Amino acid sequence: MKIERLTFIRIRMPLVAPFETSFGVTSDRDCILVAIDSDGLTGYGECVAEKDPGYSYETTGTAWHVLKDFIAPALLGQELADAADYQRRVESIRGHPLAKAGVEMALWDLLGKREGRSLKDLLGGVRSRVEVGVSVGLQVSPQALVERVASYLEDGYRRIKIKIKPGRDVLDAAAVRKAFAEIRLQVDANSAYTLDAAGALAPLDELALLLIEQPLAEDDLWDHSRLQGRLRTPLCLDESILSARHARAAIEMGACRIINIKAGRVGGLSQAVAIHDLCRKAGMPVWCGGMLETGIGRASNLALASLPGFTLPGDISASDSYYTQDVTLERFTLNPDSTIDVPTAPGLGVSVDAGQLARVSLDRLELVPE
Ligand code: SMG
Ligand code: MG
């Protein structure tokens, strides 16, 4: 594929409701969409960096810089064979996995459109619908949280994740467990605890949780392994796993018993598949994380989650839970069995709504070979 044009579009989309985590509140989702033109076809990707460096050090600002000044010059006018070829060309750019992954997604979309194959097929997916759950942000009180969870259960979600932070952990989780004794429930701390402070999480062991996600710092596999030794509930790593090397180290160290895979966080779909393969061999269950994606990134997550090792429900909710209007013409809906269908059309299997994209665009940059 000859890279004839690269377009970066910064967008802002209002969320249906603010989403609060241990690191802050998101009311509007800022992200960068990537379009690659080649041979009369356009592939789309989504860079999941957010406006603020809360989840990751990358932001829409740093990603814009890395995309424009480093990734684009490495690609413009070049013939690219596949994702592995792309990864080799951006290897010398240290870090910035979210920026790299946005472009890789667009390449996969292009590849699929060229070959008339869905991303699910290209990646080796085996399911036509995937099990999903919903991630519920911090609410004003345990009571408000229980009400929020009740309404998601009514919508048909059969797995609930709640956000926790110091002072808002055991009571919140216990309130949800008391109200709904049987549901599949898990919690996510987004790195809000130290090993010492994590002593407060011990009572969570009595609540039959599926997992506790990322309690400690992102750069601290070792303390996670110590904490896992003290808890019966499986720890699941999100922010800590930036590469297949981290995944291997976490497995060998016993730093977790489950891994959340996000293609953005690990630098691209090809890396996500590599981690999936490694975890599958090691018998480590994985599930697909979410970054409040638009229809573009959501389609990519669904394809990824259709791989055989994704045995736990993903953070991939229906489009309605996030946006009243999306940048894709397709909207994803929840099936009665808490699944969402994996797109089957070539590439990501979605088409961009040009009018809506124009309405939410803040900035646009088109680059062609000199
Ligand atoms: O896409 O449903 C979604 C969001 C899922 O909780 C979610 N993501 O740490 O797993 C996580 C967070 C990161 C994004 S917070 C703005
Ligand atoms: Mg998480």
What pLDDT shows up at residue 71? 98
Ligand nearest to the CA of 54: 1
Q: What interhelical angle do 295-305 and 97-115 show, nearest 10?
A: 80
- What pLDDT is stored for residue 198 in this prediction? 97
The β-bridge relationship of strands 258-261 and 24-38 is: unpaired
Catalytic residue positions, numbered = 163, 262
Ligand 1 pocket: which of 48, 186, 292 to mutate (most atoms within 8 A of CB): 292
Asked whether 294 lines ligand 1 (CB < 6 A), one says: no
Annotate 252-308 with DSSP letters as a single string: HHT--SEEEE-TTTTTSHHHHHHHHHHHHHHT--EEE------HHHHHHHHHHHTST
Confidence band of 287 (pLDDT split at 50, 70, 90): very high
Which residues neighbour 172 within 8 Å (Cβ) at sequence distance 6 or greater? 138, 142, 145, 162, 164
Tokens 């999480």 sit on residue: 201
pLDDT tens per residue, range 88-141: 999 999 999 999 999 999 999 999 999 999 999 999 999 999 999 999 999 999
Q: Would you state the pLDDT for residue 80?
A: 97
- Ligand nearest, relative to CA of residue 21: 1
Residue nearest to atom 6 of ligand 1 (CA): 135
DSSP reduced 3-state for 158 = coil
The average pLDDT across 27-55 equals: 98
pTM for the model: 0.98
Give the sheet arrangement for strand 5-21, strand by strand: 41-47, 24-38, 5-21, 361-367
What is the 264 CA–ligand 2 centroid distance (Å)? Answer: 13
Instruction: Evaluate: CB of 290 within 6 angstroms of ligand 1.
Output: yes
CA distance 58 to 290: 16
Q: What pLDDT shows up at residue 25?
A: 96
Q: Which of 37, 34, 36 shows the shortest CA–CA distance to 45?
A: 34
Cβ of 30 closer than 6 Å to ligand 1, yes or no, is: no
Q: How confident is the model over 244-285, as pLDDT tens digits? A: 999 999 999 999 999 999 999 999 999 999 999 999 999 999
Per-residue pLDDT reduced to its tens digit, 158-185: 999 999 999 999 999 999 999 999 999 9
